[in-house]
Structure 1
Amino acid sequence: MKYVMLALCLGLSFAVNAQKVKVDKQNFEVKGERIFKDGADVTETLTLERKAEIKKAVQIQKAEEVAKQAEKAKKEAKKVEKKEKSAENKRKKAEKELAKKQKAQSNFDKAKSNLEKAQEKRTKLMERGKLSPVDEAKWDKKIKTLEEKMAKAKKKLK
Protein backbone atom coordinates (compact mmCIF):
# COMPACT_ATOMS: atom_id res chain seq x y z
CA MET A 1 0.00 0.00 0.00
CA LYS A 2 2.88 2.35 0.82
CA TYR A 3 4.42 1.77 -2.57
CA VAL A 4 1.21 2.46 -4.43
CA MET A 5 0.87 5.78 -2.60
CA LEU A 6 4.51 6.55 -3.38
CA ALA A 7 3.91 5.86 -7.05
CA LEU A 8 0.87 8.14 -7.08
CA CYS A 9 2.82 10.92 -5.38
CA LEU A 10 5.61 10.56 -7.91
CA GLY A 11 3.06 10.64 -10.71
CA LEU A 12 1.59 13.86 -9.34
CA SER A 13 5.03 15.42 -9.00
CA PHE A 14 5.66 14.65 -12.68
CA ALA A 15 2.38 16.35 -13.52
CA VAL A 16 3.43 19.55 -11.76
CA ASN A 17 6.85 19.75 -13.43
CA ALA A 18 7.53 20.53 -17.07
CA GLN A 19 6.95 17.65 -19.44
CA LYS A 20 8.98 17.02 -22.54
CA VAL A 21 7.09 15.30 -25.30
CA LYS A 22 7.80 14.35 -28.90
CA VAL A 23 4.98 14.84 -31.40
CA ASP A 24 5.52 14.24 -35.14
CA LYS A 25 9.30 14.17 -34.73
CA GLN A 26 9.26 17.56 -33.00
CA ASN A 27 10.25 18.06 -29.38
CA PHE A 28 8.01 20.21 -27.18
CA GLU A 29 8.15 21.13 -23.53
CA VAL A 30 4.93 21.85 -21.69
CA LYS A 31 5.01 24.00 -18.56
CA GLY A 32 1.54 24.52 -17.17
CA GLU A 33 -0.47 26.03 -20.05
CA ARG A 34 2.60 27.20 -22.01
CA ILE A 35 4.20 25.16 -24.80
CA PHE A 36 7.88 25.64 -25.68
CA LYS A 37 9.91 24.46 -28.64
CA ASP A 38 13.69 24.72 -28.42
CA GLY A 39 13.30 27.09 -25.44
CA ALA A 40 10.96 29.49 -27.26
CA ASP A 41 7.29 29.94 -26.34
CA VAL A 42 5.19 28.75 -29.29
CA THR A 43 1.84 28.57 -27.51
CA GLU A 44 0.30 31.44 -29.49
CA THR A 45 1.53 30.20 -32.87
CA LEU A 46 0.02 26.69 -32.57
CA THR A 47 -3.48 25.79 -33.66
CA LEU A 48 -6.01 24.55 -31.17
CA GLU A 49 -5.83 21.07 -32.66
CA ARG A 50 -2.05 21.02 -32.39
CA LYS A 51 -2.19 22.23 -28.77
CA ALA A 52 -4.73 19.52 -27.96
CA GLU A 53 -2.56 16.93 -29.69
CA ILE A 54 0.51 18.01 -27.69
CA LYS A 55 -1.42 18.08 -24.40
CA LYS A 56 -2.89 14.66 -25.13
CA ALA A 57 0.62 13.31 -25.81
CA VAL A 58 1.75 14.79 -22.47
CA GLN A 59 -1.17 13.13 -20.66
CA ILE A 60 -0.40 9.78 -22.29
CA GLN A 61 3.24 10.13 -21.29
CA LYS A 62 2.25 10.99 -17.72
CA ALA A 63 -0.10 8.00 -17.58
CA GLU A 64 2.68 5.71 -18.82
CA GLU A 65 5.08 7.05 -16.20
CA VAL A 66 2.51 6.57 -13.45
CA ALA A 67 1.85 3.03 -14.70
CA LYS A 68 5.58 2.27 -14.67
CA GLN A 69 5.90 3.65 -11.13
CA ALA A 70 2.90 1.62 -10.01
CA GLU A 71 4.40 -1.52 -11.56
CA LYS A 72 7.69 -0.86 -9.79
CA ALA A 73 5.86 -0.31 -6.53
CA LYS A 74 3.93 -3.54 -7.04
CA LYS A 75 7.15 -5.47 -7.67
CA GLU A 76 8.74 -3.95 -4.56
CA ALA A 77 5.67 -4.86 -2.52
CA LYS A 78 5.91 -8.45 -3.77
CA LYS A 79 9.60 -8.58 -2.82
CA VAL A 80 8.85 -7.25 0.65
CA GLU A 81 5.97 -9.70 1.03
CA LYS A 82 8.22 -12.57 -0.05
CA LYS A 83 10.88 -11.56 2.48
CA GLU A 84 8.26 -11.30 5.22
CA LYS A 85 6.91 -14.73 4.35
CA SER A 86 10.42 -16.17 4.39
CA ALA A 87 11.10 -14.60 7.78
CA GLU A 88 7.78 -15.96 9.08
CA ASN A 89 8.67 -19.45 7.85
CA LYS A 90 12.08 -19.24 9.53
CA ARG A 91 10.44 -18.09 12.76
CA LYS A 92 7.94 -20.96 12.65
CA LYS A 93 10.72 -23.45 11.95
CA ALA A 94 12.72 -22.10 14.90
CA GLU A 95 9.64 -22.33 17.15
CA LYS A 96 9.06 -25.95 16.09
CA GLU A 97 12.71 -26.78 16.71
CA LEU A 98 12.56 -25.17 20.15
CA ALA A 99 9.35 -27.06 21.00
CA LYS A 100 10.98 -30.29 19.84
CA LYS A 101 14.02 -29.67 22.05
CA GLN A 102 11.83 -28.82 25.02
CA LYS A 103 9.81 -31.98 24.54
CA ALA A 104 13.00 -34.06 24.26
CA GLN A 105 14.29 -32.46 27.47
CA SER A 106 10.99 -33.14 29.20
CA ASN A 107 11.01 -36.78 28.04
CA PHE A 108 14.59 -37.19 29.26
CA ASP A 109 13.79 -35.69 32.65
CA LYS A 110 10.72 -37.91 33.01
CA ALA A 111 12.63 -41.06 32.02
CA LYS A 112 15.45 -40.20 34.43
CA SER A 113 12.98 -39.57 37.24
CA ASN A 114 11.15 -42.85 36.59
CA LEU A 115 14.44 -44.76 36.56
CA GLU A 116 15.61 -43.18 39.82
CA LYS A 117 12.28 -43.91 41.51
CA ALA A 118 12.32 -47.54 40.36
CA GLN A 119 15.92 -48.00 41.55
CA GLU A 120 15.09 -46.48 44.95
CA LYS A 121 12.00 -48.65 45.35
CA ARG A 122 13.95 -51.78 44.39
CA THR A 123 16.70 -50.90 46.86
CA LYS A 124 14.19 -50.33 49.67
CA LEU A 125 12.44 -53.61 48.96
CA MET A 126 15.79 -55.44 48.94
CA GLU A 127 16.82 -53.85 52.25
CA ARG A 128 13.54 -54.95 53.84
CA GLY A 129 13.95 -58.44 52.39
CA LYS A 130 10.67 -58.34 50.54
CA LEU A 131 12.04 -59.36 47.13
CA SER A 132 11.81 -62.93 45.99
CA PRO A 133 14.13 -64.13 43.20
CA VAL A 134 11.21 -63.90 40.75
CA ASP A 135 10.38 -60.35 41.90
CA GLU A 136 14.05 -59.42 41.68
CA ALA A 137 14.16 -60.60 38.04
CA LYS A 138 11.03 -58.53 37.30
CA TRP A 139 12.59 -55.43 38.88
CA ASP A 140 15.82 -55.98 36.95
CA LYS A 141 13.84 -56.21 33.72
CA LYS A 142 11.83 -53.08 34.60
CA ILE A 143 14.96 -51.10 35.46
CA LYS A 144 16.67 -52.24 32.26
CA THR A 145 13.64 -51.07 30.23
CA LEU A 146 13.68 -47.69 32.00
CA GLU A 147 17.43 -47.37 31.34
CA GLU A 148 16.81 -48.01 27.64
CA LYS A 149 14.06 -45.36 27.57
CA MET A 150 16.39 -42.90 29.26
CA ALA A 151 19.17 -43.69 26.77
CA LYS A 152 16.76 -43.11 23.85
CA ALA A 153 15.56 -39.83 25.39
CA LYS A 154 19.19 -38.73 25.92
CA LYS A 155 20.03 -39.60 22.31
CA LYS A 156 17.06 -37.51 21.04
CA LEU A 157 18.10 -34.67 23.32
CA LYS A 158 21.40 -34.25 21.48
Structure 2
Amino acid sequence: FDFAQTTTYQQAQGQIAIGSGGLFGQGFNVSNLLIPVRESDMIFTVIAEDFGFIGSVFVVALYLLLIYRMLKITLRSNNQFYTYISTGFIMMLLFHIFDNIGAVTGLLPLTGIPLPFISQGGSAIISNLIGVGLLLSISYQTSLAEEKSGKVPFKRKKVVLKQIK
Protein backbone atom coordinates (compact mmCIF):
# COMPACT_ATOMS: atom_id res chain seq x y z
CA PHE A 1 0.00 0.00 0.00
CA ASP A 2 1.09 3.56 -0.66
CA PHE A 3 -0.27 4.72 2.69
CA ALA A 4 1.16 1.97 4.90
CA GLN A 5 1.83 4.47 7.68
CA THR A 6 -1.88 5.28 8.11
CA THR A 7 -3.31 1.75 8.14
CA THR A 8 -2.56 -1.28 10.26
CA TYR A 9 -1.12 -4.54 8.98
CA GLN A 10 -4.32 -6.40 9.73
CA GLN A 11 -6.48 -3.87 7.91
CA ALA A 12 -4.13 -3.81 4.92
CA GLN A 13 -4.12 -7.60 4.66
CA GLY A 14 -7.90 -7.61 5.01
CA GLN A 15 -8.32 -5.22 2.11
CA ILE A 16 -5.99 -7.32 -0.02
CA ALA A 17 -8.01 -10.42 0.89
CA ILE A 18 -11.30 -8.74 -0.02
CA GLY A 19 -9.86 -7.65 -3.34
CA SER A 20 -8.41 -11.06 -4.11
CA GLY A 21 -11.84 -12.66 -3.67
CA GLY A 22 -13.13 -11.12 -6.88
CA LEU A 23 -16.71 -11.68 -7.94
CA PHE A 24 -17.12 -15.36 -7.06
CA GLY A 25 -14.30 -15.93 -4.56
CA GLN A 26 -11.36 -18.29 -4.44
CA GLY A 27 -13.24 -21.21 -2.93
CA PHE A 28 -13.87 -22.40 0.57
CA ASN A 29 -10.71 -22.30 2.73
CA VAL A 30 -8.33 -21.71 -0.18
CA SER A 31 -6.92 -18.43 1.14
CA ASN A 32 -3.19 -17.86 1.18
CA LEU A 33 -2.95 -14.50 2.94
CA LEU A 34 -1.88 -14.13 6.53
CA ILE A 35 -4.56 -12.23 8.41
CA PRO A 36 -4.06 -12.43 12.16
CA VAL A 37 -7.09 -13.46 14.22
CA ARG A 38 -9.33 -14.09 11.24
CA GLU A 39 -12.09 -15.71 13.26
CA SER A 40 -12.93 -12.70 15.39
CA ASP A 41 -12.97 -9.19 13.92
CA MET A 42 -11.81 -10.01 10.40
CA ILE A 43 -14.29 -12.76 9.56
CA PHE A 44 -15.89 -10.67 6.82
CA THR A 45 -12.57 -10.71 4.94
CA VAL A 46 -12.65 -14.50 5.02
CA ILE A 47 -16.19 -14.48 3.62
CA ALA A 48 -15.23 -11.98 0.91
CA GLU A 49 -12.09 -13.90 -0.01
CA ASP A 50 -13.66 -17.36 -0.03
CA PHE A 51 -17.04 -16.50 -1.56
CA GLY A 52 -16.29 -13.21 -3.33
CA PHE A 53 -18.54 -10.25 -3.86
CA ILE A 54 -21.56 -12.50 -4.33
CA GLY A 55 -21.02 -14.15 -0.94
CA SER A 56 -20.50 -10.78 0.75
CA VAL A 57 -23.70 -9.40 -0.73
CA PHE A 58 -25.51 -12.56 0.38
CA VAL A 59 -24.34 -12.09 3.98
CA VAL A 60 -25.40 -8.42 3.95
CA ALA A 61 -28.76 -9.43 2.43
CA LEU A 62 -29.29 -11.95 5.25
CA TYR A 63 -28.57 -9.22 7.78
CA LEU A 64 -31.05 -6.91 6.04
CA LEU A 65 -33.68 -9.66 6.10
CA LEU A 66 -33.08 -10.20 9.82
CA ILE A 67 -33.37 -6.46 10.51
CA TYR A 68 -36.55 -6.29 8.40
CA ARG A 69 -38.17 -9.11 10.36
CA MET A 70 -37.15 -7.49 13.65
CA LEU A 71 -38.66 -4.18 12.54
CA LYS A 72 -41.92 -5.96 11.67
CA ILE A 73 -42.02 -7.40 15.19
CA THR A 74 -41.31 -3.97 16.65
CA LEU A 75 -44.01 -2.22 14.64
CA ARG A 76 -46.57 -4.94 15.40
CA SER A 77 -46.04 -4.67 19.15
CA ASN A 78 -48.54 -2.55 21.03
CA ASN A 79 -46.49 -2.37 24.25
CA GLN A 80 -44.25 0.68 24.58
CA PHE A 81 -41.69 -1.15 26.73
CA TYR A 82 -41.38 -3.94 24.15
CA THR A 83 -40.90 -1.33 21.45
CA TYR A 84 -38.04 0.29 23.37
CA ILE A 85 -36.31 -3.04 23.98
CA SER A 86 -36.57 -4.18 20.37
CA THR A 87 -35.55 -0.81 18.96
CA GLY A 88 -32.49 -0.74 21.18
CA PHE A 89 -31.44 -4.22 20.13
CA ILE A 90 -32.00 -3.46 16.44
CA MET A 91 -29.88 -0.31 16.70
CA MET A 92 -27.11 -2.20 18.52
CA LEU A 93 -27.14 -4.89 15.84
CA LEU A 94 -27.08 -2.32 13.03
CA PHE A 95 -24.16 -0.51 14.66
CA HIS A 96 -22.17 -3.72 15.06
CA ILE A 97 -22.77 -4.73 11.44
CA PHE A 98 -21.92 -1.28 10.10
CA ASP A 99 -18.86 -0.91 12.31
CA ASN A 100 -17.40 -4.33 11.55
CA ILE A 101 -17.90 -4.22 7.79
CA GLY A 102 -16.75 -0.59 7.70
CA ALA A 103 -13.60 -1.44 9.65
CA VAL A 104 -12.78 -4.44 7.48
CA THR A 105 -13.19 -2.46 4.26
CA GLY A 106 -11.10 0.42 5.58
CA LEU A 107 -13.85 3.01 5.99
CA LEU A 108 -13.58 2.98 9.80
CA PRO A 109 -10.77 2.14 12.21
CA LEU A 110 -10.64 -1.32 13.75
CA THR A 111 -12.47 -1.24 17.06
CA GLY A 112 -12.74 -4.88 18.04
CA ILE A 113 -16.50 -5.18 17.57
CA PRO A 114 -17.31 -8.62 16.15
CA LEU A 115 -19.68 -9.31 13.27
CA PRO A 116 -22.97 -10.44 14.87
CA PHE A 117 -23.71 -14.18 14.83
CA ILE A 118 -20.62 -14.95 12.71
CA SER A 119 -17.50 -13.77 14.54
CA GLN A 120 -15.99 -15.60 17.45
CA GLY A 121 -16.84 -13.43 20.41
CA GLY A 122 -17.97 -14.92 23.71
CA SER A 123 -20.02 -12.17 25.30
CA ALA A 124 -21.08 -10.71 21.94
CA ILE A 125 -22.76 -13.89 20.77
CA ILE A 126 -24.46 -14.32 24.15
CA SER A 127 -25.88 -10.78 24.05
CA ASN A 128 -27.01 -11.22 20.44
CA LEU A 129 -28.78 -14.47 21.25
CA ILE A 130 -30.43 -12.88 24.30
CA GLY A 131 -31.65 -10.04 22.06
CA VAL A 132 -33.09 -12.46 19.51
CA GLY A 133 -34.75 -14.39 22.32
CA LEU A 134 -36.31 -11.19 23.62
CA LEU A 135 -37.62 -10.35 20.16
CA LEU A 136 -39.08 -13.83 19.77
CA SER A 137 -40.77 -13.45 23.14
CA ILE A 138 -42.12 -10.04 22.12
CA SER A 139 -43.50 -11.55 18.92
CA TYR A 140 -45.14 -14.38 20.86
CA GLN A 141 -46.63 -12.06 23.49
CA THR A 142 -47.97 -9.76 20.77
CA SER A 143 -49.60 -12.64 18.90
CA LEU A 144 -51.17 -13.89 22.15
CA ALA A 145 -52.57 -10.42 22.85
CA GLU A 146 -53.94 -10.21 19.30
CA GLU A 147 -55.62 -13.61 19.60
CA LYS A 148 -57.11 -12.67 22.97
CA SER A 149 -58.58 -9.46 21.59
CA GLY A 150 -59.89 -11.25 18.50
CA LYS A 151 -57.66 -9.32 16.13
CA VAL A 152 -55.66 -11.96 14.26
CA PRO A 153 -53.89 -10.63 11.15
CA PHE A 154 -54.04 -13.95 9.31
CA LYS A 155 -55.94 -17.18 9.65
CA ARG A 156 -53.98 -19.97 11.27
CA LYS A 157 -54.66 -23.56 10.39
CA LYS A 158 -54.14 -26.40 12.80
CA VAL A 159 -52.35 -29.39 11.40
CA VAL A 160 -53.80 -32.68 12.58
CA LEU A 161 -51.90 -35.86 11.92
CA LYS A 162 -53.94 -39.02 11.63
CA GLN A 163 -52.91 -41.89 13.81
CA ILE A 164 -51.81 -44.87 11.77
CA LYS A 165 -52.96 -48.23 13.11
Give the greater-gyration-radius structure (CA).
1
The structure carrying a bigger helix percent of its residues is 1
| TM-score under structure 1 length normalisation | 0.28
The structure carrying a bigger strand percent of its residues is 1
